Chains A and B, each alone.
Chain A
C-alpha cells in the first residue's frame, strides 16, 4: 500500500539523530514486546509479512510519532484480535484488572 512507511526519497525529515552506546532496549516493555511478537510468530500465529502490513496500516501520524516498539505492539494487538486469539475486549478487560491491582 502507498503508506507513510514507504519513505525512500522523501524529504523534510531533517537530521539523522544518533545516540552513543544506545541500549538494545530502552525500557522493559520494549524487551517484552520484542519477545512476545517473535514468540507468537514461532507459535505459528502469523507471518512477518502480516506484521509488516499491520504496521503499514497504522496511519501516518501515529506511525511517525510513536516509538518503534509501539509499532510492534500495534501489530500484535491488531493481528491477534483479527484472528480471534486475543480480542480487544479481552485485552481491555485484563488491562483494567491489572490497573486496579496497581499492576504498572
Chain B
C-alpha cells in the first residue's frame, strides 16, 4: 500500500479502522449466562489477562463480532468471534478482602470462555 498522503490524513483518522467483522456461527452465549474464563497461557499474543483466567463471571451483553487479536497479531488472519462483556465480582477475582460492591467488566472473545452449569 502506498503512503497515506497529507490530504487524506484527516479523513482517514475520522474514518478509523473498526475491527468489527461478521461471525459465521451463532453466538454461544447470551446475557445472563454464567461463564468461566479459560486458563490459557499462550506464549503468543492474547488479550485475556492473567487476573481473569479461571475466574467465574456473568455475561452482560454480546458486542457483536470482531477480528480476533490473538490470530491477527501473528498474521493468521481476522478469524472473527463474538465478543462478550462479562462481569466479574471483586471478591471472585481478589478474595474476601475485596469490597462487596466492586466489579470488573471485561470484553472476552468467545474462545476465552466456557459455560458453567
Near B by CB (< 8 A), chain A positions 48-65 give 49-50, 52-53, 56
Contact yes or no, A47 B46, CB < 8 A:
no
Near A by CB (< 8 A), chain B positions 16-38 give 17
Contact yes or no, A1 B46, CB < 8 A:
yes
Number of A-B contacts (CB under 8 A): 48
B43 CB-CB contact with A under 8 Å = yes
Q: How far does the Cβ of B89 sit from chain A's closest Cβ, in whole Å?
A: 14
Per-position contact with A for B20-64: 1 when CB-CB < 8 Å, else 0?
Answer: 000000000000000000000111111001111000000000000
Contact of A47 among B3, B4, B12, B73 (CB under 8 A): B73
Contact of A9 among B3, B75, B94 (CB under 8 A): B94
With A and B bound together, what is the CA distance between A49 and B70 in angstroms? 8
Q: Which of A19-27, A36-44, A92-100 contacts B (4 or more CB under 8 A)?
A: A36-44
Contact yes or no, B94 A1, CB < 8 A:
no
Q: How far does the Cβ of A24 sit from chain B's closest Cβ, in whole Å?
A: 15
| Size of A's binding interface in residues, CB under 8 A | 16
With A and B bound together, what is the CA distance between A52 and B72 in angstroms? 11
Contact yes or no, B1 A44, CB < 8 A:
yes
Contact of A43 among B3, B17, B52, B74 (CB under 8 A): B3
Known A6-B50, A56-B45; judge A49-B4 contact (CB<8 A): no
Contact yes or no, A53 B73, CB < 8 A:
yes
A15 CB-CB contact with B under 8 Å = no
Q: How far does the Cβ of A99 sit from chain B's closest Cβ, in whole Å?
A: 26
Residues of chain B contacted by A49 (CB below 8 angstroms): 45, 69, 72-73
Q: How far does the Cβ of B48 sit from chain A's closest Cβ, in whole Å?
A: 9
A103 CB-CB contact with B under 8 Å = no
Contact yes or no, B3 A39, CB < 8 A:
yes
Closest to B94 in A: A9
Chain A interfacial positions (CB closer than 8 Å to B) = 1-2, 6, 8-9, 39, 41-44, 47, 49-50, 52-53, 56
**What are 27 pairs between A and B in contact, CB < 8 Å?**
A1-B43, A1-B46, A2-B41, A2-B50, A8-B49, A8-B50, A8-B52, A9-B50, A9-B51, A9-B93, A9-B94, A39-B3, A41-B17, A42-B1, A42-B12, A43-B2, A43-B3, A43-B4, A44-B1, A47-B72, A49-B72, A49-B73, A50-B72, A50-B75, A52-B45, A53-B73, A56-B45
